[in-house]
């Protein structure tokens, strides 16, 4: 009896000390740390890719920088943690990263079951197929019996199964752990088809031996809204990320760029005034400085600038704006007003 | 903390904290408390973390729809099957590699081990070089190497290397005809089972007779005849109730037939090559452990080198070989998990890979995977221990 | 009639020509029977098929000079026949140091030279206080190496020195290449030794709870593949910790590797303990030594000495197994090779990378296994003399 009560006492003691620490507000923790920790892809040109000096660049990286600019007014105050597809969710759940900006598709199960909040969609994507031109395939409906290479741990594997099942076509799938392995297998002819998000296909095509021998099919077989995500439950922190993104979209809509943001400060347009801190206390509402939006635009740029610099038609990826154009230009990007 | 509890020190004057028996009890209780507390701490943290972040837990996900396909499955499986079935598919794929690997590595290992001790200089040298090179290069590197080499050296399916129009080797794998059974095949199966049972009975009977009378009976030949002959008879009686399904090039790829995917070929090949080298060393050590007098005695009674090795040396060497052989078999099974590096859908790749990612339930998935390997390891070593005891009993 | 009778010994006749010299050796070793002859011919054919093309690819047709991928390619863009060793030349820095900052690689070099300098005195046979010095070096060196790798000064990111200072901190995610492989293997083996000793003692203990826990722990880690342990440490470990506590990815991998190898180490040490005669224990107890002193002064020194070759073998195994961290996305030697293979500038030379890595691993492992065999022989003669 004595033994048992001793054990129980020991266990209870430890349990007590462990539960003493209360959930900490992420924003306060970030401010105290002096740095925001951002989970990004390991190596995805155009979205998140380190150069030879280890400097990160890309569309998702800009999202991280925007948050750092909003909080600290300094885009260098961000630590990039490259995560694999397998690790990314645990990294966020466990607090290893403050948020993920990592080509992650917003799905209901991830939002609800995994305990995350998606704060917005910074890139509307869809799954597509890439095939060697010499196969002579023009549309995905002709892929009956094909062998498809893909990466495990992504929604693409399931979309692929759905697509072939819906069209009553046979196929074979070879699923690799890492994107580079998928690409190498496709390049060596192990598969007829390479499938992932179309933005990824464009990025990966640049890594092939002879990119021009490969064709991205016109079919889009799924909706892949990619966006940053945070842990469920810390709504204030989610707001910081969400509005950092919305500022970039709003800035594009209002014609504010990193080049003209200083002149725009004296603009008479009340919307611009509110955004840049000339009117109201919108930064304070978030627990930030009122110059938060100014810093984002000045240091990172608006949505269009980031898009054109990293993934736009002039980059190796060569992605047209398409559905990612502003709503006013026939696209889907639409940010609620700052007021 | 005493290793040896004796009554030597327990003179009446010994205070209780110096008494080895009480100290042992106290120490054990302290350890138990520490381990339990540590376990409770981990459990509490995990539970807390999962709870706070609203992550689902429990094993209910095993019943929900998987929604992804697997290239190689020995049981019926499709995207609409459940995660539980995906687990089974992965497990079976692991088992296939392990079984084929164990058989191949044993054959290769014994050949190499004997060759290493051959009196033929060049054969012994080749075996030695093979063992040294293979043992000193990481297995993962070898698996990737063979996979890349296979991918590089095989043509696309449209230019595949064909053997008699039945076998096709391409970078999609090795396609071959598959037998498809029809009604009435049961007789063949029944005949095969009967033949196996008959052979076992025959072997026992002949052993008994040999012990009693010294007369030998050609058991191996008779059994071979039975096992081949009876099923053949069964086939002929029912009018050959099966046909072959040939692989045919259609569109992108071959359709029909059976296929060994390149991932399976290179993984199994690498595992056999790697484990074979280790088994070769074990076999050599085992043979060296048999005293040379045994060989000389065998020669003296007129046995030729072949039968000497088979009847005198190997049976005695087996006792030395079996324990390390067991751990090599276990290593091979565990090493098959490196499949995940080349996309062979084994247990780890399917369950601790894809399923883990689809469900996000890391704790459950990793725990199940580990439990499966642990069970396999423990049951294999239990079986081999039993086998080892059986072998050891023949010692006189 | 007399016949001449020769007396005395005649000089020995030379042995028949067929049993001496090259011919004799070949008759003895290659063609002693028809079976042997067939085997010899088969083996020679095998070598004839395998060796010339291999040499052709690795040496004669190989491209040794040049700096760019196009030096390895024919004008039409396809790769030339031989191995492209320029790829290795171009990437050698990456293979050795991973993504470690270019201007700081001298720090890794210094750490490598230091290991030689600090361990060199141990080769001296009659060094005074050799054991103390040895233990001190083993404990001290990891600390030194850690700071050489990591650096001392953690500049805030806004400080320009954070990208230029020679002693700035380098995050572990940038460590890589052969340096990381050596680091993981050495830390794994050093950290697992004390844990392994404890477990081995626990397994042999007469206390039922202690031995049960030890057996469970050992069999658990020995029964599962390393890759699942690494997956566990990379995705499950973060959930085990209270909120706000985080381990670095490298540290998590090291914990996994250490737990795994400590189970194997425990079995090695147990082997050594079993080889110690019971008389040693009894003598120690008769001297009135308590358990700790008996183990530390009498039993362990003998047992560990006995199992040094096995420890070296465990180290070789661990050294090879570190390649698995490439699967969880770290850039050890194999990971760095794969990084190089994915370099768009050098696509299509993957084989060269793998062959290079294989050769490097072979050199390391083969020399270590030779060393362990040498130790074994040395220790064995020691036993015979007694």
Question: By the CB < 8 Å criterion, does B377 face chain C?
Answer: yes
Residue ending a domain, choose from B191, B218, B245: B245
Residue B72, sorted as left (phi over 0), alpha (psi -120 to 50) or beta, turns out to be beta
Question: pLDDT per residue over C130-186, tens digit each?
Answer: 778 888 888 888 888 888 888 888 776 556 777 778 888 888 878 889 999 999 998
User: Helix (H, G, I), strand (E, B), or coil: what is residue B236?
Assistant: helix
In a 10 Å sphere around its CB, with 0-12 CB exposed, 13-18 middle and 19+ buried, how is residue C213 labelled? Answer: buried
Contact assignment for C342 to A23 by CB distance below 8 Å: no
Q: Do both B157 and B297 map to the same domain?
A: yes
Q: Which of B38, B55, B67 sits opposite A115 (nearest CB)?
A: B55
CA C270 to chain B, closest CA, distance in angstroms equals 14
Residues 6+ apart with CB under 8 A from C383: none
Q: Supply the mean pLDDT for chain C.
A: 85
pLDDT over 70 percentage in chain C: 95
The answer to whether B145 contacts chain C (CB < 8 Å) is yes
Place of tokens 């190497």: B145
For residue C259, give the nearest of C292, C237, C235 by alpha carbon. Answer: C237
Contact A93 C238 (CB under 8 A): yes
Chain B: residue whose CA lies nearest to C235: B362
**Does one domain contain both B125 and B267?**
yes
Query: Does one domain contain both B209 and B278?
Result: no
ipTM of the complex: 0.88
Question: Are C281 and B123 within 8 A, CB to CB?
Answer: no
Given a contact as 3+ CB pairs under 8 Å, which chains touch A?
B, C
Residues of B in contact with C264 (CB under 8 A): none
> What is the rounded CA–CA span in Å between residue A66 and residue A298?
10
Residue with more model confidence, C344 or A321: A321
To the question of pTM greater than 0.90 for the whole model, the response is no
User: Which pLDDT belongs to residue B247?
Assistant: 82
- Inter-chain CB proximity C209 and B32 less than 8 Å: yes
Q: What is the rounded distance in angstroms from the CA atom of residue B107 to the CA atom of residue C325?
A: 31
C351·B148 Cβ contact <8 A:
yes
Three-class secondary structure of residue A23 per DSSP: coil
Q: Across the interface, do C225 and B31 touch by the CB < 8 Å criterion?
A: no
Q: How far is residue B20 from each of residues B10, B12, B333, C206, measured CA to CA in Å?
A: 8, 13, 44, 12
C-beta of residue B332 within 8 angstroms of C-beta of residue B105: yes
The domain containing residue B364 runs over which residues? 83-174+262-393
Q: Is the CB of A317 inside 8 Å of chain C's CB atoms? A: no
B200 & B229 share domain: yes
C73 confidence band (pLDDT: 50, 70, 90): confident
Q: Give the bridge partners for A193, in sequence order.
A: A148
Q: Measured between CB atoms, does A212 come within 8 Å of chain B? A: no
Predicted local confidence at residue A54, as pLDDT: 64
Cα dihedral across residues A153, A158, A163, A169: positive or negative? positive
State whether B128 and B32 are in the same domain: no
The DSSP string of C311-379 is: HHHHHHHHHHHGGGGGTTT--BHHHHHHHHHT-GGGTT-HHHHHHHHHHHHHHHHHHHHHHHHHHHHHH
- Closest residue, chain A, to B30 (C-alpha): A7
Give chain B's domain count: 3
> For residues A94 and A51, is the Cβ–Cβ distance under 8 A?
no
Task: Using a CB–CB cutoff of 8 Å, tell me whether A8 touches chain B.
Answer: no
Q: What is the pLDDT of residue C159?
A: 67
Give C358 to chain B, closest Cα distance, Å.
6
B189 and B208 belong to one structural domain: yes
d(CA A181, CA A174): 11
Nearest CA among C256, C270, C274, C261 for reference residue C313: C261
* Cross-chain Cβ contact C158/A76 below 8 Å: yes
pLDDT of C112 over the 70 cut: yes
CB A140 within 8 Å of CB A219: yes
Half-sphere exposure at residue A95, Cβ-oriented, CA atoms within 13 angstroms:
23
Task: Write down the pLDDT at residue B1.
Answer: 45
Angle between helix C208-223 and C177-204 (nearest 10): 150
Q: Which of B149, B153, B143 is nearest to B346 (CA)?
A: B143
B210 plus B309 within the same structural domain = no
Query: Which of C102, C173, C246 lies closest to A95 in CB terms?
Result: C246
Give me the residue from C157, C231, C338 closest to A76, CB to CB.
Answer: C157
**Residue B239 located in a structural domain:** yes
B180 to B93, B259, C328: CA distances (angstroms): 22, 14, 42
Interface residue of A84, A115, A237 to substitute, partner B, most B CBs within 10 Å: A115
Chains in contact with B, where contact means 3 or more Cβ–Cβ distances below 8 Å, are: A, C
pLDDT confidence of residue C8: 77
- State whether residue B153 sits within 8 Å of chain C by CB: no
CA separation for the pair A41, A47 (Å, rounded): 8
Q: Is A34 on the interface with C (CB under 8 A)?
A: yes
What is the rounded distance in angstroms from the CA atom of residue C172 to the CA atom of residue C254? 12
**pLDDT of res. C327:** 85
> For the segment C296-313, what is each residue's pLDDT rounded down to a tens digit?
888 988 888 888 888 888
pLDDT value of residue B27? 85
Q: Residue B259: enclosing H or E segment and its boundaries?
A: strand B258-260
Q: Which of C79, C207, C359 to mutate to test the interface with B (most CBs of B within 10 A)?
A: C207
Residues in chain A predicted with pLDDT less than 50, given as ranges, are: 1-24
B139 and B274 share a domain? yes
Q: With bands split at pLDDT 50, 70 and 90, how would you rate the model's confidence at C2? A: low
At residue C326, what are phi and psi to the nearest 5 degrees? -60, -30
Residue B140's beta-bridge partner residues? Answer: none
φ, ψ of residue A175 to 5 degrees: the values are -110, 120
Distance between CA atoms of C82 and B329, rounded to whole angstroms? 38
**pLDDT digits (tens), chain B, 396 positions:** 444 444 444 455 667 767 777 888 888 899 999 999 999 999 998 888 787 766 777 888 899 888 888 988 889 998 889 999 999 999 999 999 999 999 999 999 999 999 998 888 899 999 999 999 999 999 999 999 999 999 888 888 888 888 877 888 888 889 888 888 777 788 888 888 998 999 899 888 888 888 888 787 888 888 888 888 888 888 888 877 778 888 888 777 787 788 899 999 999 999 999 999 999 999 999 988 888 899 899 999 998 888 888 888 888 888 888 888 888 999 999 999 999 889 899 999 999 888 888 887 888 999 999 999 999 888 888 887 787 777 665 544
In this structure, the answer to whether residues B155 and B295 fall within a common structural domain is yes
* Assigned domain for B36 exists: yes
Instruction: Name, in order, each residue with C-beta under 8 angstroms of A199's C-beta and a sequence gap of 6 or more.
Output: A46, A47, A103, A123, A125, A226, A311, A317, A319
CATH code for position B332: 1.10.3720.10
Buried b (16+ CB within 10 A) or exposed e, C51-75: eeeeeebeeeebbeeeeebeebeee
Question: Phi then psi for B175, rounded to 5 degrees?
Answer: -95, 140
**Structural contact between residues B355 and B346, judged by C-beta atoms closer than 8 angstroms:** no
Looking at CA atoms only, how far is residue C328 from chain B in angstroms?
A: 10
Asked if residue B3 is part of any domain, the answer here is: no
What is residue A124's predicted lDDT score, i.e. its pLDDT? 93
B354, B86 in Cβ contact below 8 A?
A: yes
Q: Quick check: B343 and A233 CB within 8 A? A: no
Is residue B133 domain-shared with residue B184, that is, in the same domain? no
Cβ-defined contact of C329 to A42 (cutoff 8 Å): yes
A135 touches chain B (CB under 8 A): yes
Q: What is the pLDDT of residue B277?
A: 95
* Lowest mean pLDDT segment, chosen from A267-281, B145-159, C25-39, C222-236: C25-39
From A229's Cα to the closest Cα of chain C, the distance in A is 18
Tell whether B145 and B284 lie within a shared domain: yes
A45-74 residues touching C, CB cutoff 8 A: 50, 52-54, 74
Alpha-helical regions (H) of chain B: 20-52, 83-116, 121-135, 139-153, 186-213, 219-237, 262-289, 292-300, 305-307, 314-335, 347-349, 356-359, 362-393
CB contact under 8 A, C321 and B2: no
Q: Does residue B62 belong to any structural domain of this protein?
A: no
3-class SS at C45?
helix
Q: How far is CA C305 from the centre of its chain?
A: 19
Structural domains in chain A, CATH included, are 26-124+226-328 (3.40.190.10), 127-222 (3.40.190.10)
Name every chain C residue with its beta carbon within 8 A of the beta carbon of B148: 350-351, 354
Confidence at residue C262, expressed as pLDDT on a 0 to 100 scale: 95
Q: What is the pLDDT of residue A339?
A: 85
Q: Is residue B237 located within the same domain as residue B106? A: no
Task: Tell me whether residue B141 is in a domain.
Answer: yes
Two structure tokens written together for B317: 């060497």
d(CA A141, CA A236): 46
Beta strands at B248-250 and B242-245: parallel, antiparallel or unpaired: unpaired
Q: Is residue B5 part of a domain?
A: no
Instruction: For residue B166, give both structure tokens.
Output: 């039945």
Q: For residue B90, tell me if it sits in a domain.
A: yes
Instruction: Say if CB B19 and CB B9 are below 8 A apart.
Output: yes
Helix (H, G, I), strand (E, B) or coil at B162: strand
In a domain, B2, yes or no: no
Residue that finishes a domain, picked among B213, B245, B277: B245
């Amino acid at each position: 009896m004595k033994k048992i009560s001793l054990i129980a006492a020991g266990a209870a003691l430890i349990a007590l000390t462990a539960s003493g620490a209360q959930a900490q507000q992420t924003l306060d923790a970030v401010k105290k740390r002096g740095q925001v920790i951002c989970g990004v892809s390991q190596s995805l040109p155009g979205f998140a890719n380190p150069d030879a000096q280890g400097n990160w660049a890309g569309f998702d990286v800009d999202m991280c920088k925007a948050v750092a600019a909003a909080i600290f007014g300094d885009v260098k105050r961000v630590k990039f943690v490259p995560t694999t597809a397998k690790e990314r969710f645990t990294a966020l759940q466990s607090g290893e990263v403050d948020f993920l900006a990592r080509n992650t598709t917003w799905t209901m199960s991830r939002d609800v079951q995994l305990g995350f909040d998606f704060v917005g969609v910074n890139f509307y994507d869809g799954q597509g197929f890439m095939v060697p031109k010499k196969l002579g395939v023009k549309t995905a409906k002709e892929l009956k019996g094909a062998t498809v290479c893909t990466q495990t741990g992504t929604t693409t594997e399931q979309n692929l199964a759905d697509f072939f099942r819906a069209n009553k076509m046979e196929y074979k799938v070879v699923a690799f752990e890492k994107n580079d392995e998928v690409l190498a297998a496709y390049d060596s002819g192990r598969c007829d088809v390479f499938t992932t998000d179309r933005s990824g296909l464009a990025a990966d095509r640049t890594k092939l031996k002879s990119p021009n021998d490969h064709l991205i099919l016109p079919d889009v077989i799924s909706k892949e809204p990619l966006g940053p995500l945070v842990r469920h439950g810390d709504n204030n922190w989610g707001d910081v990320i969400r509005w950092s993104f919305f500022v970039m979209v709003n800035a594009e809509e209002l014609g504010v760029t990193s080049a003209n943001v200083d002149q725009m400060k004296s603009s008479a347009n009340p919307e611009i005034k509110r955004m840049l801190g000339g009117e109201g206390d919108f930064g304070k509402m978030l627990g930030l400085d009122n110059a938060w939006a100014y810093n984002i635009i000045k240091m990172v740029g608006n949505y269009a600038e980031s898009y054109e610099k990293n993934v736009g038609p002039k980059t190796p990826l060569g992605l047209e704006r398409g559905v990612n154009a502003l709503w006013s230009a026939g696209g889907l990007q639409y940010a609620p007003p700052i007021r | 903390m005493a290793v040896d509890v004796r009554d030597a020190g327990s003179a009446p004057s010994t205070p209780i904290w110096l008494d080895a028996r009480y100290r042992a009890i106290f120490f054990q209780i302290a350890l138990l408390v520490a381990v339990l507390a540590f376990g409770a701490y981990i459990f509490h943290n995990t539970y807390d973390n999962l709870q706070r972040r609203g992550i689902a837990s429990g094993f209910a996900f095993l019943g929900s729809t998987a929604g992804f396909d697997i290239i190689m499955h020995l049981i019926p499986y499709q995207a609409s099957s459940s995660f539980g079935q995906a687990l089974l598919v992965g497990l079976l794929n692991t088992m296939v590699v392990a079984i084929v690997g164990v058989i191949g590595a044993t054959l290769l290992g014994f050949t190499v081990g004997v060759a290493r001790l051959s009196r033929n200089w060049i054969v012994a040298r080749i075996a030695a070089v093979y063992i040294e090179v293979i043992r000193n290069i990481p297995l993962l590197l070898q698996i990737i190497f063979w996979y890349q080499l296979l991918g590089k050296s095989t043509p696309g399916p449209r230019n595949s290397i064909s053997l008699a129009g039945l076998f096709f080797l391409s970078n999609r794998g090795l396609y071959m005809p598959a037998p498809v059974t029809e009604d009435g095949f049961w007789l063949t199966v029944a005949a095969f089972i009967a033949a196996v049972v008959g052979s076992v009975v025959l072997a026992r009977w002949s052993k008994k007779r040999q012990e009693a009378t010294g007369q030998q009976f050609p058991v191996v030949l008779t059994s071979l005849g039975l096992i081949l002959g009876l099923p053949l008879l069964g086939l002929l009686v029912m009018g050959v109730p099966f046909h072959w399904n040939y692989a045919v090039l259609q569109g992108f790829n071959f359709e029909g037939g059976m296929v060994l995917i390149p991932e399976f070929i290179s993984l199994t090949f690498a595992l056999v090559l790697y484990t074979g080298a280790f088994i070769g060393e074990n076999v050599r050590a085992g043979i060296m452990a048999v005293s040379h007098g045994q060989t000389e005695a065998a020669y003296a009674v007129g046995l030729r080198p072949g039968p000497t090795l088979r009847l005198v040396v190997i049976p005695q060497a087996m006792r030395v070989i079996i324990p390390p052989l067991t751990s090599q078999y276990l290593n091979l099974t565990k090493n098959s998990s490196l499949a995940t590096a080349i996309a062979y859908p084994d247990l780890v790749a399917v369950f601790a890979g894809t399923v883990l990612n689809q469900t996000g339930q890391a704790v459950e998935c990793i725990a199940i995977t580990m439990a499966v390997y642990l069970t396999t390891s423990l049951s294999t070593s239990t079986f081999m221990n039993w086998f080892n005891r059986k072998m050891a009993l023949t010692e006189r | 009639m007399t016949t001449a009778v020769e007396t005395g010994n005649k000089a020995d006749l030379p042995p028949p020509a067929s049993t001496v010299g090259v011919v004799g050796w070949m008759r003895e070793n290659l063609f002693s029977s028809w079976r042997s002859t067939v085997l010899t011919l088969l083996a020679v054919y095998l070598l004839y098929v395998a060796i010339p093309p291999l040499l052709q690819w690795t040496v004669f047709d190989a491209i040794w000079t040049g700096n760019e991928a196009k030096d390895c390619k024919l004008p039409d863009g396809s790769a030339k026949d031989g191995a492209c060793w320029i790829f290795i030349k171009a990437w050698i820095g990456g293979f050795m140091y991973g993504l470690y900052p270019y201007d700081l690689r001298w720090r890794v070099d210094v750490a490598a030279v230091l290991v030689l300098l600090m361990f060199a005195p141990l080769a001296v046979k009659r060094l005074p206080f050799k054991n103390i010095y040895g233990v001190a070096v083993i404990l001290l060196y990891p600390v030194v190496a850690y700071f050489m790798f990591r650096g001392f000064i953690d500049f805030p990111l806004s400080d320009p020195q954070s990208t230029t200072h020679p002693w700035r901190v380098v995050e572990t995610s940038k460590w890589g290449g052969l340096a990381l492989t050596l680091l993981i293997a050495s830390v794994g083996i050093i950290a697992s030794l004390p844990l392994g000793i404890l477990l081995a003692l626990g397994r042999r203990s007469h206390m039922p709870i202690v031995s049960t826990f030890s057996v469970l722990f050992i069999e658990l880690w020995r029964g599962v593949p390393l890759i699942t342990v690494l997956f566990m440490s990379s995705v499950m470990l973060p959930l085990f910790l209270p909120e706000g506590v985080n381990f670095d990815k490298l540290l998590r991998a090291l914990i996994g590797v250490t737990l795994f190898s400590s189970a194997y180490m425990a079995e090695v040490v147990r082997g050594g303990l079993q080889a110690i005669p019971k008389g040693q224990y009894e003598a120690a107890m008769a001297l009135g030594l308590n358990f700790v002193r008996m183990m530390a002064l009498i039993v362990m020194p003998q047992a560990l000495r006995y199992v040094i070759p096995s420890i070296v073998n465990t180290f070789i195994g661990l050294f090879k197994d570190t390649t698995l961290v490439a699967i969880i996305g770290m850039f050890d030697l194999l990971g760095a090779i794969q990084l190089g293979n994915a370099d768009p500038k050098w696509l299509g030379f993957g084989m060269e990378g793998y062959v290079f890595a294989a050769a490097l691993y072979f050199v390391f492992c083969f020399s270590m296994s030779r060393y362990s065999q040498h130790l074994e022989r040395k220790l064995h003669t020691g036993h015979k003399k007694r």
